[in-house]
Amino acid sequence: MGLLTRNSIRFQQLLAAAISTSTHQPIPTTIISSSSSSPPLFSHFSLQIPLSRSSARSISFPFSYSYSSSTMVDATADPNMDAVQRRLMFEDECILVDENDRVVGHDTKYNCHLMEKINSENLLHRAFSVFLFNSKYELLLQQRSATKVTFPLVWTNTCCSHPLYRDSELIEEKALGVRNAAQRKLLDELGIPAEDVPVDEFTPLGRMLYKAPSDGKWGEHELDYLLFIVRDVKVNPNPDEVADVKYVNRDQLKELLRKADIGEGDLKLSPWFRLVVDNFLFKWWDHVEKGTLNETADMKTIHKLT
């Protein structure tokens, strides 16, 4: 698909299907750019459709599709971006929300993580952070891959990502959309099959809102759902997403925190993970061990943390 949007391709398919129906045969179509100097993301193009398979004549439909100039420039300004991450940046549509977690729109993962847009347009998107414990009550951590656009090679909680702007992940009742997204990403990132992490086993404990720059260009501005789950699972990390994994108990996590604080071994923790650790994790860990997570859940409050 490249960088051509699904919308333009869908338009092409629908128009070709309509003509095919009237002529009772499939008709090939071609997208023709408006000029030889058009950028990789066409803002103007025509749809050329043969009148029949035996005819040399064709009809051409002028067609335009608007992109913001900043998106078009930035899309070609990152030649060193990993191909997998580039695809996800432009294909994934994050859910935009206000500070009360009301859906206000959607935008590409690319735009949602540009600090320029975060600061100028106050783009805030919905996210989730999974904390998966095994039956020994050890927490599974991951180190983000070196190719991640934001916060590469930092250690963080089990899985951190975004529900997408799709019906199954927009369901707000009991945070079902977010739980569906968490199940999807545990498979994508860690190879954990859906049957090993049923959506009903996730316990949403709370929500937090935070902003964190990653470097001069990229960053996060998220309304983050904190999901806890206790399951024994087999892990098969996806190297495009994850560099390493480890289980830690409380004392081992405290040692990681100590090393991160003094910069030992260049160890770094993600800012959202550190916020959860500093504000919630150890007291919630008690409830993990007691089997009383539902007693500590508070999904009415949105904690604004810095």
pLDDT digits (tens, 9 = 90+) for 140-164: 999 999 999 889 999 999 999 999 9
Q: What per-residue confidence (pLDDT) applies to 123?
A: 96
Average pLDDT over residues 132-138: 98
CATH number at residue 245: 3.90.79.10
Judge whether residue 21 has pLDDT over 60: no
Active-site residue, 160 included: yes
| Within-domain flag for 154 | yes
Q: What per-residue confidence (pLDDT) applies to 250?
A: 98
Could you tell me which residue, 38 or 120, shows the higher pLDDT? 120
Q: What per-residue confidence (pLDDT) applies to 83?
A: 74
Q: What per-residue confidence (pLDDT) applies to 70?
A: 40
| Within-domain flag for 4 | no
Average pLDDT over residues 44-70: 41
Residue written as token pair 């949105």: 302
Looking at the chain, the whole-number percentage of residues with pLDDT higher than 90 is: 67
Judge whether residue 66 has pLDDT over 60: no
| Within-domain flag for 223 | yes
Q: For residue 285, what are the domain limits?
A: 84-304
Phi-psi region of 291 (alpha: psi -120 to 50; beta: other; left: phi over 0): left
Instruction: Burial-class residue 266 by CB neighbours within 10 Å (0-12, 13-18, 19+).
Output: exposed
Average pLDDT over residues 293-303: 97
CA separation for the pair 139, 252 (Å, rounded): 10
Average pLDDT over residues 36-63: 40
3-state secondary structure 103-139: EEEEEEHHHHCEHHHHHHHCCCEEEEEEEEECCCCCE
Looking at the chain, the whole-number percentage of residues with pLDDT higher than 70 is: 72
Average pLDDT, the chain: 81
Could you tell me which residue, 179 or 215, shows the higher pLDDT? 179
Q: What per-residue confidence (pLDDT) applies to 84?
A: 67
Q: What per-residue confidence (pLDDT) applies to 215?
A: 81
pLDDT band per the 50, 70, 90 thresholds, residue 78? low
Average pLDDT over residues 99-123: 95
Helix, strand, or coil (residue 67): coil
Could you tell me which residue, 272 or 6, shows the higher pLDDT? 272
Could you tell me which residue, 2 or 93, shows the higher pLDDT? 93
pTM of structure = 0.74
| Within-domain flag for 127 | yes
Indicate which residue of 94, 112, 160, 169 is catalytic: 160
Q: What per-residue confidence (pLDDT) applies to 80?
A: 64
Q: Do 157 and 129 contact (CB within 8 A), yes or no?
A: yes
Highest mean pLDDT among 16-25, 53-62, 272-281: 272-281
Active-site residue, 222 included: yes
pLDDT digits (tens, 9 = 90+) for 180-233: 999 999 999 999 999 999 999 999 999 999 999 888 789 999 999 999 999 999
Q: What per-residue confidence (pLDDT) applies to 184?
A: 98
| Within-domain flag for 245 | yes
| Within-domain flag for 125 | yes
Average pLDDT over residues 65-92: 57
Q: What per-residue confidence (pLDDT) applies to 79?
A: 62
How many domains, the chain? 1
Tokens representing 54 are: 């035996």
| Within-domain flag for 109 | yes
| Within-domain flag for 43 | no
Judge whether residue 251 has pLDDT over 60: yes
CA separation for the pair 132, 130 (Å, rounded): 6
